[in-house]
Chain A
């Protein structure tokens, strides 16, 4: 069975469960709406030049928080039912677990981003570029979310099976994903300003994504399980018991 098929089956399993109660989707969607309202109330009066500086931050801040919520919830479900440990004993490539979770997280996070971008465009005139250049906007959104989710999925999985608590995810996640988020933020500003280097930024973001996904998938099993059992070269010698 191929890695792709196993990843798809695991992702589909999560999606089917999510469609039964929509808990994660509703939480992410409502959070996105609340954040939008707060941004509108706080920054609507900003001059257009300042909006160009503020909108990228609003977008990626909201995505970062939605991402943390989603990652927490997607692994909470596994932790509550201890199902992740069950999957680890099945004849499943463990990297498929990573790609399955990554796929679902990415779907939710980019979905919220897809709500955020047009909404920001409606609220802030400087962000109308998101609607005027939908292909570049969508590409930027997806590439930025991949970078964030690639790292986030790795550490959320590690905490799901360890004794760490959810709060550790936030402590670990934000510092580690900050470089990717900042890069995405800079690329977003380049998009809003019509900067000629946008294509270069997108290319670099795509390369970053490839590196992060490769690294995270390589680290996934050790992070999840720790060291594996290694055969000893010889039997341990017994110490004679004292009388």
Chain B
């Protein structure tokens, strides 16, 4: 049986009396892009934080491949792009990437770093302090940093934020390339068109639960998939996750 890069089982999270996540069951397979949708404050970032090992769940299990704990080796296979860019402003783009490469123990990483910087369109600004970058450029740098170790699991929180049209297109292409490489990708976004372009599956988080999901069918068009995503709803009469079928 293939090992699933990310599996959440019965995951719940509460902050005092506030229950943010209830019994989340979610898997993300290798070579799959799953989009996590939901209203502001519904728990998307909390779920990603738990999956990234930054926050403990109140109950439930999270497994990363064959690892039940996110130890150093498991973190080597994971990359997380948070909502904030988490960039060292006083370091240049190249230095930001060199730091992570050095911490990973990647010897002779400079050619790979140069390639990544070019891949995200920052070649002309590689030696400029990252604090001088626009928000969109910092976002590109954060994405380049995430791709440094060719991660098996990529977690992205609102990755399309602050990206211009070219940046959105670039990120979409990067995500599809990573998916082709076999990475499992879980992302959150409010940009439904961008989600429809890249995702294989979209799940809706509401009231702390996954209440609906839509999977791209065969050669379904982006427009059709985006429309179905827009219609994701919640059937509160049952606990069943509503699956929206494509139009005939």
Contacts and interface: CB of A to CB of B under 8 A. Distances in A.
A81 B10 CA distance: 32
Interface stretch (A137-145, A207-215, A226-234): A226-234
A135 interface: no
A93 B71 CA distance: 9
Nearest to B56: A227
B91 interface: yes
B105 A229 contact: no
A235 B10 contact: yes
- Taking each of A17, A85, A238, A241, which has the highest tally of chain B beta carbons within 10 Å of its own beta carbon? A85
B53 A88 contact: yes
A9 B99 contact: yes
Contact of A241 (B63, B100, B238): B238
Contact of B56 (A83, A93, A225): A225
A13 B88 contact: yes
B90 A85 contact: no
B103 A17 contact: no
Given A91-B103, A91-B104, A238-B239, A81 B87 contact: yes
Contacts of B72: 91-93
B224 interface: no
Interface stretch (B31-39, B73-81, B159-167, B185-193): B73-81
A77 to B, nearest CB: 9
Given A9-B103, A89-B75, A92-B72, A83 B88 contact: yes
B59 A90 contact: no
Contacts of A231: 61, 63, 68
A225 B54 contact: yes
Interface residues of A, number: 32
A32 B75 CA distance: 42
B57 interface: yes
Contacts of B55: 225-226
Contacts, number: 102
A241 B86 contact: no
B96 to A, nearest CB: 10
A229 B10 CA distance: 12
Contact of A90 (B50, B63, B103): B103
B62 interface: yes
Nearest to B74: A91
B21 interface: no
A242 to B, nearest CB: 10
A32 to B, nearest CB: 24
Given A21-B90, A241-B238, A91 B56 contact: no
B233 interface: no
B134 interface: no
A232 B86 contact: no
Contacts of A241: 237-239
Nearest to A17: B90
Interface string B77-118: 011101011111111000100011011110000000000000
B69 interface: yes
A45 interface: no
B23 interface: yes
Nearest to A161: B54
Contact of A92 (B60, B90, B103): B103
B52 interface: yes
A228 B75 contact: no
A165 interface: no
A95 to B, nearest CB: 11
Contacts of A230: 61
Interface string B39-69: 0000000000010111111011111000011
A9 B57 CA distance: 31
A89 B87 contact: no
A232 B61 contact: yes
B242 to A, nearest CB: 14
A228 B86 contact: no
A85 B52 CA distance: 10
Q: Which 4 A-B pairs have the closest CB atoms?
A: A86-B86, A91-B76, A1-B105, A231-B61
18 contacts: A1-B103, A16-B95, A17-B88, A81-B87, A82-B82, A83-B86, A83-B87, A83-B88, A85-B54, A85-B82, A86-B82, A91-B73, A93-B72, A225-B55, A228-B53, A229-B50, A232-B59, A241-B239
Interface of A: 1, 6, 9-10, 13, 16-17, 20-21, 81-83, 85-86, 88-93, 225-232, 235-236, 238, 241
